[in-house]
Amino acid sequence: MRLFTLLLLIGLISCEQAPTYEALEENTSQFRDESLAPFYHGVASGDPLPTGIVLWTRVTPATQVPEIEVEWEISKNENFQEVALSGKETTSPERDYTVKVDITEGLTPGTQYYYRFKALEGSSMTGKTRTAPQLAERLRFAVVSCSNYEFGYFNAYARIAEEENLSAVVHLGDYIYEYGPGVYGDTAIGRINVPPHEIVSLQDYRDRYAQYRLDQDLRAVHANHPFINIWDDHEITNNSYKDGAENHQEDEGDYNTRKAVARQVYYEWLPIRDGAAHYRAFSFGDLADLIMLDERLAGRTKQVDSLSDATLQNVDRSMLGAEQLAWFQERLTTSKARWKLIGNQVIFSYLDWGFPTFSINLDAWDGYPAEQQKVADFIKENELENLVFLTGDTHSSWAFEVTNNPKKEYNSSTSEGAFAVEFGVTSINSSNSNERASTEDVLEHEKKIVNTEINPHLKYANMRDHGYMILELDAEKAQASYKYVETLKERDKRIRTETTLQVNSGEVKIRRKD
């Protein structure tokens, strides 16, 4: 009897000491698919190495628990009968319950893997990923940019999720947009930004990423392919640079605080390897090196306001900053790969947009002509071959034979004077030209600026459609296929390839394959 009483007292004391936590209420809970609990945001992978990969998920507890233990495993088999690696990670509110596993060794190069997470008596969906190869005969990338939740459905992401044999999805920035509802979008579709104002605070940025990552199409593409991400400006705020931004006002607090918050949440919510520098490089065997540049926060100085600005040509005005520029140059000269791919947020090539009131984009490399020339001279002086700039930002598709002086140092028939090619990708769904003008007028404008005296080195433009680009590489050629969706107004499976462009190894001449 005394033993029973003692055990009862111990039980009562244990019950009294068991912690209780308040319910976790989130501003994006209305977007959840409850069948996925507690892994509502799915899974993701990124930054592939030959022997490693970054795995990501987010666990959503019912209450505000201070800590959650999460199990993970990765296998060559979808049924996980043979687990290659496994382990445990701990997450907490301090990192918004996100989980990131940085595997650096133990995997086989060029191999497809499956992975999953377990926590809170639940299991995540199974993700599929791929390590980088050490030797490769062919590579295939999807290249994307600019996804704006309010502008419509992510049909392009859904179609990329269905693509096969991708080495990675290369995301060139503007993964989210910072604006409040109705500022830059189509609210008639019913996809309304959360929170209901421009994002500035830590919780604001977390809410916006959470909303995007609850979208079923974005969730699907992350689950099926590894991503290699770089930010542009809207992950912070419009036209950002190292020390400020066009869309940051005094009443929004300290810019450096906002920038630090934006950076923190970006690293929380994306499958990117943590590091001091955002710019980084990836090797895909002897066939390709991918060099991802940070053209916003690493070293960019403030944009000038007009072509007449006396400081436009100043040599101390920089897109990359001295440290990143030196790193970039070293990467170019030490690369032994056949193709050197440059993940580039804003257009590097000279471009005259051809509008009466707008000709040169001063937020692009044309707004930093001294450093633009320095990069061009470095490439030419070192006789570097097979450089392919991959560019986002403009919500339009482009193909340039790269020269920053096309009207004096370039022959459009022979391509002499060009030193690289540049393939620009349109937006996933952010606004482009025929959302402001008729499609007929935009087609006429394309004819005006493509392969004419205005831009003799510009070989292709589509300023009308939304979608993505497939870049395929082998030892002989690089081939860019421009794929476009039919609508943003509803979920729709239609996709078309408008054109395929090719450049042969050792050349800079762009040829059509269709």
Q: Are residues 477 and 382 in the same domain?
A: yes
The span from the CA of 426 to the CA of 485, in Å, is 11
Residue-range definition of the domain harbouring residue 406 = 139-512
Residue 474 covered by a domain = yes
Q: Are residues 367 and 316 in the same domain?
A: yes
How does pLDDT run across 409-432, given as a tens digit for each residue? 899 999 999 999 999 999 999 999
Pairing of strands 244-245, 240-241: antiparallel
Neighbours of 487 (CB within 10 A): 12
Q: Which of 342, 448, 435 is CA-nearest to residue 395?
A: 435
CATH number for the domain including 458? 3.60.21.70
Query: What secondary structure does DSSP assign to 275-300, as a single string?
Result: -S-S-EEEEETTTEEEEE---SSSSP
Q: Are residues 119 and 143 in the same domain?
A: no
The pTM score is: 0.95
Q: Are residues 79 and 182 in the same domain?
A: no
How does pLDDT run across 461-506, given as a tens digit for each residue? 999 999 999 999 999 999 999 999 999 999 999 999 999 999 999 9
Q: In what order do the strands lie in the sheet with 511-512?
A: 98-103, 53-58, 43-46, 226-229, 168-171, 139-144, 467-473, 477-485, 495-504, 511-512
Q: Are residues 210 and 125 in the same domain?
A: no
Q: Which of 388, 408, 411, 392 is CA-nearest to residue 400?
A: 388
Burial level of 382, CB count in 10 A (0-12/13-18/19+)? exposed
Amino acid at 57: T
What pLDDT score was predicted for residue 7?
45
Q: Which of 306, 214, 304, 259 is CA-nearest to residue 30?
A: 214
Q: Are residues 422 and 314 in the same domain?
A: yes
Q: What is the residue-averaged pLDDT of the chain?
A: 95
Q: Are residues 157 and 283 in the same domain?
A: yes
Residue 436 covered by a domain = yes
The span from the CA of 270 to the CA of 359, in Å, is 35
Pairing of strands 288-292, 339-344: parallel
Phi and psi at 468, nearest 5°, equal: -160, 175
Q: Which of 236, 182, 183, 184 is CA-nearest to residue 209?
A: 236
Strand blocks (E) in 216-356: 226-229, 240-241, 244-245, 280-284, 288-292, 339-344
Neighbours of 120 (CB within 10 A): 16
Q: Which of 369, 383, 241, 390 is CA-nearest to residue 311?
A: 369
On the CB side of 337, CA atoms within 13 Å amount to 30
Residue 15 covered by a domain = no
Q: Are residues 118 and 145 in the same domain?
A: no
Q: Are residues 376 and 420 in the same domain?
A: yes
**Total tally of structural domains belonging to the chain:** 2
The span from the CA of 94 to the CA of 102, in Å, is 18
Q: Which of 512, 454, 506 is CA-nearest to residue 480?
A: 512
User: Which H helix or E strand runs over 471?
Assistant: strand 467-473
Q: Are residues 489 and 374 in the same domain?
A: yes
Neighbours of 312 (CB within 10 A): 19
Could you read off the pLDDT tens digit of each residue along the chain, which spans 514 residues? 454 454 444 454 455 566 889 999 999 999 999 999 999 999 999 999 999 999 999 999 999 999 999 999 999 999 999 999 999 999 999 999 999 999 999 999 999 999 999 999 999 999 999 999 999 999 999 999 999 999 999 999 999 999 999 999 999 999 999 999 999 998 899 999 999 999 999 999 999 999 999 999 999 999 999 999 999 999 999 999 999 999 999 999 999 999 999 999 999 999 999 988 999 999 999 999 999 999 999 999 999 999 999 999 999 999 999 999 999 999 999 999 999 999 999 999 999 999 998 999 999 999 999 999 999 999 999 999 999 999 999 999 999 999 988 989 899 999 999 999 999 999 999 999 988 899 999 999 999 999 999 999 999 999 999 999 999 999 999 999 999 999 999 999 999 999 999 999 999 999 998 6
How does pLDDT run across 194-223, given as a tens digit for each residue? 999 999 999 999 999 999 999 999 999 999
Q: Are residues 206 and 238 in the same domain?
A: yes
Q: Are residues 145 and 41 in the same domain?
A: no
What CA–CA distances, in Å, run from 314 to 13, 356, 368, 371, 405? 73, 26, 8, 9, 18
Residue 205 covered by a domain = yes
CATH number for the domain including 116? 2.60.40.380
